[in-house]
Amino acid sequence: MTLLTIILPLSVLIAISVYILFKRCEIIVCTEVCNIFCNTIVAFDQCVGITREVLKEWHRLSVKASLDSKLEEKDLERIMQLLELKDKNVAEMKRLTPKLTFRCSWWKQQILSHHKLPLAEIELALALPQTTYDELKAMIDETMTDVKIGTIDSMRMNFIQTKFMAFEEEAIGMYYGAMEGICSFPHSVLRIYEDVSFGLKYLPTEVGYNKRKEDYFHFQELRMNKAQRLLNEFKVYLDNTDDIIKTFTDVLLKKDINMFFSGSKSLETERNIFNGAIVRLQTKWREKELNIYGFSYQNFKHEVVVEGHQAAYDTFIQNSTDAIFFVLNGNVGGYTEKEFKLAMEAFKQKGTPKIFVYSKINDVLDFSVEELRKIICKEKQYWQDYTDNSHLKLLIENDMTDVITSINEDNTQIRRNIFE
């Protein structure tokens, strides 16, 4: 008997044992993570249900206001009763929602990597039930205050309705994000979601759980983009309403943060990643009275203008943008190069916008990307390489968070200087 005849079967046996151990560990870890995401999904479903009830009554009130020009006392009492009830419902839902935890170890990290699930996504899922309930309750409380003090005119009614509509789109978008996280799990684990889905009343569960991660990501971005468009309408409302009173503090504080996506018009997926990050951070930072807005060429008028569309982009980048995000993947046009130079010029003069550059790692580097990299190096700046869309998503959201955190810290210092 040769040594090879002993080692070969032994190696096969070890490989089989390792595989069996991995699969058993995979079931344990995926079950734990699936429970976390399902806990989040239930919260989304409950919040969407309450949002739709409020929207239904609010729409009835809006129609009546448009017909009668003035709301009767009984109409206001009716909406107040509904809002007070839903406010209590949200508080009770938050109280009853399990507060789960997740302790990551090396072997758990390997299994998560196998399913392309970053630890940051799990940490977000752990926090989302409580933050989602808090955001919905804050919206209801704010609406009750408006009704009590009688500041409900037609424009304000439309504003509130749009805000609840955007919240619903965000919640459904985050539901698809949760499905993206668990869809690759073993079928035996996904039975947990099957059981939970029978009790869901408002989320689009008909999509099932057997689609690809890319499909759920696409569904999520569609919803997030719709929410983004609605939230941008808020900005138009705020910019054009004359009766908003700005206090001395409001003038000093920076409340609107504008971020701009720059890159080839063909980078639709990357642009959707940018918009999705904007919406998630809007939810996170709204309680700090910060309004986060995302812009790209899509947010500007598309009719023919004498000076060309690029002039509007350039002016916005130089004068109104707090941070600009360049994504280099494939061909880079001359306009992107020009936008980088304009952003650098503005940054040197006044310290804004903050500039972030992300370059896709490709087997063959496009000549135009190489040229822009040379310009970046000449300015003694650097770019961040990314491997895939998940990596890009993580980088963009981390950098956006740094920008917002810095502005929030500046606001905190201003408040201290005023009131101390």
pLDDT tens for the chain, 420 residues: list them. 566 666 766 676 666 766 676 678 889 999 999 999 999 999 999 999 999 999 999 888 887 777 665 667 888 888 999 999 999 999 999 999 998 999 988 888 888 888 888 888 888 889 889 999 999 999 999 899 888 877 677 777 888 888 899 999 999 999 999 999 999 899 999 999 999 999 999 999 988 888 988 899 889 888 888 888 887 765 655 555 544 434 444 545 667 899 999 888 888 889 889 988 988 888 788 777 788 888 888 776 554 444 555 677 788 888 888 999 999 887 776 778 888 888 888 888 888 889 999 988 876 667 777 778 888 887 777 788 898 888 999 999 999 999 999 988 887 776 666 555
What is the 3-state composition of the chain as percent helix, strand, coil, each rounded to the nearest 5?
Answer: 70, 5, 20
pTM: 0.60
Amino acid at 383: W
Amino acid at 64: K
d(CA 265, CA 173): 23
Q: What are phi and psi of 325, to 5 degrees?
A: -120, 110
User: Which residues does 112 contact at the CB level (< 8 Å), separation at least 6?
Assistant: 29, 33, 104, 118, 119, 122
Residue 6 has a pLDDT of: 65
Residue 259 has a pLDDT of: 92
Q: What is the location of CATH 3.40.50.10140 in the chain?
A: 246-420
Q: What are phi and psi of 273, to 5 degrees?
A: -60, -45
Residue 356 has a pLDDT of: 92
d(CA 163, CA 138): 12
Residue 374 has a pLDDT of: 81
Residues linked to residue 325 through DSSP beta bridges, in sequence order:
261, 356
Q: What are phi and psi of 357, to 5 degrees?
A: -125, 130
3 state SS for 173-212 = HHHHHHHHHHCCCCHHHHHHHHHHHCCCCCCCHHHCCCCC
Residues linked to residue 262 through DSSP beta bridges, in sequence order:
326
Place of tokens 């630890």: 119
Residues linked to residue 259 through DSSP beta bridges, in sequence order:
294, 323
Q: Are 61 and 75 in contact (CB under 8 A)?
A: yes
Question: Could you tell me the strand order of the sheet in which 354-360 lies?
Answer: 291-295, 256-262, 323-328, 354-360, 384-386
CATH topology of domain 246-420: Rossmann fold (3.40.50)
User: Which residues does 358 contact at the CB level (< 8 Å), separation at least 6?
Assistant: 325, 326, 327, 328, 383, 384, 385, 386, 392, 395, 396
Q: DSSP letter string over 299-328?
A: GS--S--TT-HHHHHHHHHHHT-SEEEEEE
d(CA 210, CA 4): 44
Residue 245 has a pLDDT of: 38
d(CA 143, CA 150): 11
From 390, 398, 395, select the one nearest 177 (Cα to Cα). Answer: 390
